[in-house]
C-alpha cells in the first residue's frame, strides 16, 4: 500500500507509464519500458539487470477478469510496480535479472520456481498477520481470498525448499511460501548465488 501511495495511484483512471516510471526511478532507481506483450526470457532478464521493468499497457478482457495467461497493465501496474518501490525487493529483482542471464541448466528451473513463489505468488509475515506481496495473487480476485485461507499450505521461506518445489499455473495455488522480511529474500538470494557460483 505504501508503494501505491508513492506511485500516486488512485481510482481516477489508468496511470501513464511515463508518470509511474518517473516516480519509481525517484524511489528505487527503476524505470519502466512499454512492451506489447510477453518477452523472450533473455530480453526480460536483460531489462531487469538494467533496473528496467517491462510493462504492458493493455487491459484484460472481461472473460479474463480473474486470470489472464499474458500479463496486462493491471497485473504489471498494480501487482508489480508498488513492490518495486520497496528497496529490498527492488535490489533482489535487479540481482535476479543479472543472475538469470548467467544461469544454465537446472539453475534456470530453480530461478523460475523462485520467481513464481516470490515475485508472483509470495507471502510475507507482518505484525498484523500474513500478507500478500506476489503480483500473481494481487491481480487475481480468487487468488487473493484463497491465498489467505485455510485451504493453502503456507510454509516458511527457504531457498532450498522453494527451488525444489514444482508448481502448476492453471489452478489456485495449494502451497505458498512466506517470508519473515523482504531483507530475508535479498540476503538468502545473495548467499545462494555465491554458493552456486552465480554471484555478479
How big is the chain by its Cα radius of gyration, in Å?
Answer: 16
If DSSP codes are grouped into helix, strand and coil, which group holds residue 7?
Answer: coil
Q: How confident is the model at residue 69 (pLDDT cuts 50, 70, 90)?
A: low
Q: How confident is the model at residue 68 (pLDDT cuts 50, 70, 90)?
A: low
pLDDT at 107: 96
- Quickly count: other Cβ atoms within 10 Å of residue 147's Cβ: 24
Q: What is the dihedral of CA 62, 63, 68, 69, to 10 degrees?
A: -140
pTM: 0.92
Closest CA to 107 of 168, 165, 38, 193: 193
pLDDT at 38: 72
pLDDT in tens, 125-162: 999 999 999 999 998 889 999 999 999 999 999 999 99
Closest CA to 156 of 137, 179, 134, 174: 179
Long-range CB contacts for residues 67-75, cutoff 8 Å, separation at least 24: 67/140, 67/142, 69/169, 70/37, 70/38, 71/38, 73/14, 74/139, 75/135, 75/136, 75/139
Delineate the domains of the chain, giving CATH numbers in brackets: 2-195 (1.10.800.10)
Amino acid at each position: 500500500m505504501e508503494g501505491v501511495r508513492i506511485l500516486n495511484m488512485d481510482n481516477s483512471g489508468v496511470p501513464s507509464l511515463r508518470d509511474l516510471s518517473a516516480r519509481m526511478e525517484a524511489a528505487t532507481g527503476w524505470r519502466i519500458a512499454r512492451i506489447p506483450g510477453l518477452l523472450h526470457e533473455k530480453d526480460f532478464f536483460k531489462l531487469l539487470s538494467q533496473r528496467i521493468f517491462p510493462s504492458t499497457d493493455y487491459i484484460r478482457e472481461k472473460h479474463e477478469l480473474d486470470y489472464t495467461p499474458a500479463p496486462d497493465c493491471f497485473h504489471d501496474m498494480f501487482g508489480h510496480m508498488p513492490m518495486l518501490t520497496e528497496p529490498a525487493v527492488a535490489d533482489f529483482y535487479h540481482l535476479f535479472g543479472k543472475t538469470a542471464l548467467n544461469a544454465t541448466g537446472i539453475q534456470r528451473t530453480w530461478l523460475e520456481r523462485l520467481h513464481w513463489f516470490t515475485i508472483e505468488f509470495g507471502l510475507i509475515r507482518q505484525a498484523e498477520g500474513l500478507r500478500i506481496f506476489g503480483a500473481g495473487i494481487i491481480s487475481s480476485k480468487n487468488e487473493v481470498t484463497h491465498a489467505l485461507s485455510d485451504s493453502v499450505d503456507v510454509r516458511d521461506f527457504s531457498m532450498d525448499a522453494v527451488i525444489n518445489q514444482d508448481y502448476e499455473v492453471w489452478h489456485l495455488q495449494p502451497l505458498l511460501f512466506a517470508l519473515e522480511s523482504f531483507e530475508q529474500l535479498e540476503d538468502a538470494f545473495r548467499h545462494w548465488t555465491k554458493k552456486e557460483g552465480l554471484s555478479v
